Amino acid sequence: MNINCNDRERIFLDGTPEEWTALKEHAAACSECEHEVEAWKSLSVAASELHQEWDSPALWPRIEQALQQQSAAAKSPWWGRLLGNWNLTSLQWQTAAAALVLVAVTASAIWFIVRPPGSKIPADQALFNDHTVREVEKAEAAYEQAIDKLDAQAGPQLENAATPLMASYREKLQVLDSAIADLKSQAGMNPGNGHLRRQLLAMYQEKQDTLEEVLEAKQ
């Protein structure tokens, strides 16, 4: 097989083994091709060393536990998850009751804010039009941004939860995250569904309030 310097790039891209052999033979007598082939090979050698393996004996048990929790959570409705999986035994019942009242009040407040003033929502307007969906998505993005900032501030406090209260906040936030993820996925499939959007906003509000409480507790 006749190979010259002009074939080199093509062989680098998609050469057959026979062409590679011929290129190597050509490179033995051509310093430029020899240099190029060596450089190309050394990239592969260095790249292969980026593969890393290490033991993680705790990883599968952790994943298995998370899969079990998610599987159990998926079998109950989102509100069931919010209330049922929230470890009430680690909370003072007063705190739990206060949180429930807070959820109800926040949801009601959002309902009144989102609903057009002085009008009932007729059944045929339960779906948002495109413009409204865009507005709502903008509001959700703003919420997410604000919550991300709070999340970053509260993160260290939650990760090193030193008190039962902080541990409870962390659990509550995990449940809220799960509910938000579910609602977002449902809203993604049905973006014009106003009911889902309101529930999502209520969840965002609840998460924001919880993070603010965490930060207050920190101070």
Partner 1 sequence: MGTMGLALPWEARISEEQCHKGRTVDPTETTSRFSPAAANVSREDSALAAACRAGDLRAFERLYLLHASRMKSIARNLLGTATDAEDAVQDTFLKIQRSIASFRGQSSFATWSFRILINTCYDARRSRMRKKEVAQDEPEENSPRPEPRAAVSHPSLRLALERALSQLTRHQRDVFLLYEVEGFRHSEIAAVLDISETASKNTLFQAKRNLRQMLEAPRSSAAEAR
Question: According to the binding rule CB under 8 A, does residue 153 interact with partner 1?
Answer: yes
Q: Which of 5, 109, 152, 215 binds partner 1 (CB under 8 A)?
A: 152
Give Cα separations from 49 to 36, 55, 150, 216 (angstroms): 20, 17, 40, 48
Separation of alpha carbons 1 and 192, rounded Å: 65
Residues in CB range of 37: below 8 A, 6 or more apart = 8, 23, 24, 27
Give Cα separations from 64 to 32, 56, 60, 70, 170 (angstroms): 55, 14, 6, 10, 20
Q: Which of 1, 4, 5, 12 binds partner 1 (CB under 8 A)?
A: 12
In the complex with partner 1, the residue whose CB is nearer, 64 or 126, is 64
In the complex with partner 1, the residue whose CB is nearer, 60 or 112, is 60
The half-sphere exposure of 60 on its side-chain side, counting CA atoms within 13 A, is 3
Question: According to the binding rule CB under 8 A, does residue 49 interact with partner 1?
Answer: yes
Rg over CA atoms, the chain = 29
Closest residue by Cα to residue 201 from 176, 173, 170, 171: 176
In the complex with partner 1, the residue whose CB is nearer, 73 or 110, is 73
Least Cβ distance, residue 135 to partner 1 (angstroms): 23
Question: According to the binding rule CB under 8 A, does residue 28 interact with partner 1?
Answer: no
- Find the part of the chain contacting partner 1 (CB under 8 A) among 39-47, 109-117, 126-134, 198-206: 39-47
Question: According to the binding rule CB under 8 A, does residue 162 interact with partner 1?
Answer: no
Instruction: Please give the residue ranges that form the binding site for partner 1 (CB under 8 A).
Output: 12-17, 20-21, 24, 39-54, 56, 59-60, 62-64, 66-68, 70-71, 74, 148-149, 151-153, 155
